[in-house]
Structure 1
Amino acid sequence: MIPLFTFEVYNKEEIKAVRLEFWQKLNNRTRRLPGQKGRKKYWIFDNTGIKGLDLRFDVDRQKAIVALEINHRKEERRLQLYEKLEAAKTIFEEAFGESLIWDFAYEKATGEIVCRVYVEREGDILNKELWPEIMYFLIDKMIKMETAFLEVKDYLQSDLNE
């Protein structure tokens, strides 16, 4: 079994470099997805067509997350979108293929409160031995998240007051 946490000590610059290397490697792996024909697959801050709703990757020292994040700056709009998504929970999770974590008040590391529907696994971005497993998880789950989102997108867009 691969240890979850590394015991190497990194300074700020090294941590930044390791994180950058991780995201570059993930970006390179998404170019080789079936059906891409050499084009990159972008998901981070991906334009979903719905203002304040994004598909996200989040990886830190404890976990890796794939999320549909509702981060509209107006709380009323954010909660309205979340309630619509929650009303389609059965369809969304069926399209995703498994149960998800539903959190209408997820606090990000920055302190920002967003709504998130996500799946997570243990992981440590600084442990390079875990990268293949983490990247497989991120890509596999994001493909499923995108499929689930597309299943409910038209419903989420309907009757929303901009």
Structure 2
Amino acid sequence: MYSKEQASKLKTQFWTSFGQYMKPVPGTSGLPVNWINYKTGIKNIRFRMDADNTKAIVAIEITHANPEERAHYYTQFLSLKTLLENTTGFSWQWDEAAVTGHQTISSISQQLQQVNIFNQSDWPGIISFLKPRIMALDEFWELVKDGF
């Protein structure tokens, strides 16, 4: 087991390494992108990457506090499901009402199981999972963001 401080340090090292690895990679538009803190430009819609001691995840999260607004955005994404999957080349898990801590969100995600961010030998696999998916989401978002 790791102390909170050790765990925090390892996570910071991973995300710093991932950010440095991705820094030279331009977005679909050809412009630089902060891949770690991807900005969709739409309030309450975010692309999130995370990893812990059991899995890595890439997700589109709709975080609007108003359930009707959140459902509206989710329905918009649902109408784009085929385009999302064709553009990214991946199937996604859809959850209209995912509970995260104290908040209900809508989530469209992919997970890589049985990896541990605290095990540095898992980092190449986590990076190989995250990189093509966040880049594919960028490509998809470039096509559809004006509709939001």
Confirm or deny a common fold (TM above 0.5): yes
Identity %: 31
Give unmatched runs, 5+ long, in structure 1.
Answer: 1-8, 158-162
Match of 2:63 in 1: 71
Alignment CA distance shift 1:74-1:151 (3 Å): same
Which residue of 123, 126, 135 maps to 1:143?
Answer: 135
> 2: CA distance between counterparts of 1:34 and 1:148?
15
Distance 1:48 1:34, change over 3 A: closer
Q: CA deviation at 1:40?
A: 5.7
Which residue in the other structure is 1:103 paired with?
Answer: 95
Q: Deviations over 1:30-89 (max 9, x none)?
A: 1132679xx863134422121110111011111111111111222221111001110111
1:103-142 map, 5 Å: 103-108=95-100, 110-122=101-113, 123-142=115-134
Higher mean alpha-carbon deviation, 123-132 vs 110-119, is at: 110-119
Partners of 2:27 and 2:15 in 1: CA distance: 21
Q: Check conservation: 1:46, 1:55, Cα contact below 8 A.
A: yes
CA contact (8 A) 1:43 1:55 kept: no
Task: Please give the TM-score of this superposition, normalised by the length of structure 2.
Answer: 0.88
| SS state at 1:119 partner | strand
Partner residue of 1:6? none
What is the aligned residue count? 145
State the AA in 2 paired with 1:125.
Answer: I
**Counterpart in the other structure of 1:5:** none
Equivalent of residue 50 in structure 2, options 40, 58, 68: 58
CA distance in 2 between counterparts of 1:116 and 1:52 reads 12
Q: In angstroms, what is the RMSD of aligned CA positions?
A: 2.0
Distance 2:120 2:26 in 1: 25
- In the alignment, is the contact (CA less than 8 A) between 1:92 and 1:152 conserved in 2? no
Tell me which structure has the larger Cα radius of gyration. Answer: 1
Q: Shift of residue 128 of structure 1? A: 0.7
Please tell me whether the aligned partners of residues 44 and 55 of structure 1 are also in contact (alpha carbons under 8 angstroms). Answer: no
Unaligned runs of 5+ in 2: none
Amino acid of the structure 2 residue aligned with 1:92: L
Structure 1 ranges of 4+ moved more than 4 A: none
* CA distance in structure 2 between the aligned counterparts of 1:107 and 1:43, rounded to whole angstroms: 25
